[in-house]
Amino acid sequence: MDKKVIQELIDRYVSVSFDVNKKAASLLKCQIGEDLTTDQHYILSYIKQSHNCTSSELAEAFDVNKSAITAIINRLADRGLIDRTRDENDRRVVYLTLSEKGNELHNKTQEKVHLLVESFITQFDETEITNFINTYEKLALILTTMKKEEVGE
């Protein structure tokens, strides 16, 4: 591919990526902002999907310091949205699960997210959106591989 074409594609990618991420984050915040922060929603989603996890797993999954996760987890626990359970064999290990209240709030906010995504995803035909998601998944895989190589895994 020609260097000029590559540069144009890079510029388009950077521009659209910034635009989409900012606008999507803003719309998401408008939908769930009264109930949770976006980060809290993603944390609850991860915990629900995994059924239980540790703070270390969350820090790795979200690629942030454990202290950042701890602050979010403390806020969620203070609101009664998550439960902490110590491992019976190793008291240093604490498992995180959604409480009943956390599960209810997650379901409520997830429905708002679903409606938001549905409102724009239905503006594409099925082939377009399937191709887009396949490409986006491929990008995620490429970035995951690059990240692993960066940290030497």
pLDDT in tens, 90-127: 888 999 999 999 999 999 999 999 999 999 999 999 99
Number of compact structural domains in the chain: 1
| Rounded Cα distance, 51 and 45, in Å | 10
- Inside any domain, residue 88: yes
How do 94-98 and 82-86 pair as beta strands?
A: antiparallel
Indicate the pTM of the whole model.
Answer: 0.84
CATH code: domain of residue 69: 1.10.10.10
> Do 31 and 116 contact (CB within 8 A), yes or no?
yes
Q: Is residue 43 part of a domain?
A: yes
- Taking only the tens place, the pLDDT of each residue in 71-87 is 999 999 999 999 999 98
